[in-house]
Structure 1
Amino acid sequence: MSRKSIFYCENELVILLKANDRAAFEYLYDNYAAGLYGIIRRIVRDDNKADDVMQDSFIKIWKNIASYDADKGTLFTWLLNVARHTAIDRSRTDAKFENNTNWDLVAEKDLMPSSAIHYDASALDLKEIVNKLRPEKRQLIQMLYFEGYTHEEASEYLCLPLGTVKSRVRKALSELRQVFDIPIASAQVA
């Protein structure tokens, strides 16, 4: 019987993983790796680094599967958190990652849903402008627009209600719109 023809329900899979069953771990990789890699790649944004993070994530999963608690969430949610945190840790600690990030490549449409804004993007330092937001808003904008989190992921990671996350993001974007709507000529006079 090939690996692909085996099917485990989540409870069976968890029991086998906690017993360090190699076939169960291969099944886990075959069935979950693509979804985890997609999240890792959105955060790390470099194929080679994403491959390393993927490997590190599965090592952490293998070593820490005993800490998985089904009462706290699904296996996939737990796997996703391990992969996401590994990717975030890698992006924060890797000095080369920050040095290789070209903020000039961040498109206006990625930061603002409105296409009616007219300004010279090269004259603005996006990180500096975002850093002027209140800490709770700044953190969400950085997570959602620079690190690739979804609203739901940010809500879970920060232990905030989804509505609070969406409300703070809406308010932060409104504040950013006010900054971007200032004509360049009048900004230079002030």
Structure 2
Amino acid sequence: MSQGQETFRYLYNTFRMPIYGFLRRSVGDEQTALDLMQDVFLNFIRIFKDKEIPDENRCRMYLFRAARNILINYYKSSYNRRVHLHDDPEKLAAPGSSSAVEASVIGADQKERAMRIFSDLLQHLNEVERNALILRFEHGMTIEQVAEVLDLSVTTAFRMLKKAKEQLVTEGKKIGFQPADLEW
């Protein structure tokens, strides 16, 4: 295996889950997110197969920017139809005992419910605001990195993140969902 192949394999293993998570939250569909993720990495390999591969941080920025661009193309595509089916399983009620296992199941159920509500709340934001929040809080990017990926000024990214968080809090309060319900 060549050095380039090893590097590509390392980058794929390092960034596939963050890229997939970003795409999954953006499109709301697992299979579509996997398809888009494959496109991101295929484009990366195609572009850098005969070029020097940048450092890991630059690769991360490039991959997220490529994912954003692929999302833009996906949303502009005439083949795209936004259909969201949300399962709303009944909340599990634990019998009278309070064992640690039951507590962890209830905690996991509450966290899953909170994540579903949070995903629904994200739909109240425009695509750029939604992507900015996901990059900042789920993927731990700095405001400067978010600005670079989304091709915005740092000031604009900061203001957008602040406005988007405020909008999420407002929409959440309308349905009784408090930001503390979900740890980010």
Q: Indicate the residue corresponding to 1:50 in structure 2.
A: 37
* Higher helix proportion (structure 1 or 2): 1
TM-score, normalisation: structure 1: 0.50
TM-score, normalisation: structure 2: 0.51
Q: How do 1:68-87 and structure 2 match up within 5 A?
A: 75-87=55-67
Taking the aligned partners of 2:164 and 2:18, their CA distance within structure 1 comes to 24
Residues 68-107 of structure 1, C-alpha deviation per residue, up to 9 Å, x if partnerless? Answer: 6xxxxx6112222332222222222123785256285796
Taking the aligned partners of 2:175 and 2:35, their CA distance within structure 1 comes to 41
Count of aligned residue pairs for this structure pair: 137
Q: 1:151 to 1:52 in 2, by over 3 A?
A: closer
**What RMSD, in angstroms, separates the aligned Cα atoms of the two structures?**
4.1
Taking the aligned partners of 1:110 and 1:56, their CA distance within structure 2 comes to 31
Say yes or no: does 1:140 pair with 2:132. no
Read off the aligned partner of 2:60 and give its amino acid letter. L
Structure 2 alignment gaps of length 5 or more: 25-32, 88-111, 177-184
Higher relative contact order (CA 8 A, sep 6+): 2
Residues 29-75 of structure 1, C-alpha deviation per residue, up to 9 Å, x if partnerless? Answer: 23222113223312333223322321221111224x35x6xxxxx61
Q: Indicate the residue corresponding to 1:11 in structure 2.
A: none
Which is worse superposed, 171-180 or 103-112?
Answer: 103-112
Taking the aligned partners of 1:100 and 1:43, their CA distance within structure 2 comes to 17
Q: Indicate the residue corresponding to 1:18 in structure 2.
A: none
SS at match of 1:130: coil
Give the greater-gyration-radius structure (CA). Answer: 1
Q: 1:139 to 1:76 in 2, by over 3 A?
A: same
Q: Return structure 1 stretches of 4+ with deviation > 6 angstroms.
A: none
Judge conservation of contact 1:53–1:87 (CA < 8 Å) in 2. Answer: yes
Alpha-carbon offset, residue 175 of structure 1? 3.6
Judge conservation of contact 1:91–1:97 (CA < 8 Å) in 2. Answer: no
Structure 1 alignment gaps of length 5 or more: 4-22, 69-73, 113-120, 132-137, 185-190
Alpha-carbon offset, residue 139 of structure 1? 3.2
Q: Indicate the residue corresponding to 1:178 in structure 2.
A: 170
Alpha-carbon offset, residue 160 of structure 1? 4.8
Judge conservation of contact 1:60–1:82 (CA < 8 Å) in 2. Answer: no
Q: Indicate the residue corresponding to 1:89 in structure 2.
A: 69
Judge conservation of contact 1:61–1:79 (CA < 8 Å) in 2. Answer: no
Q: 1:98 to 1:24 in 2, by over 3 A?
A: same
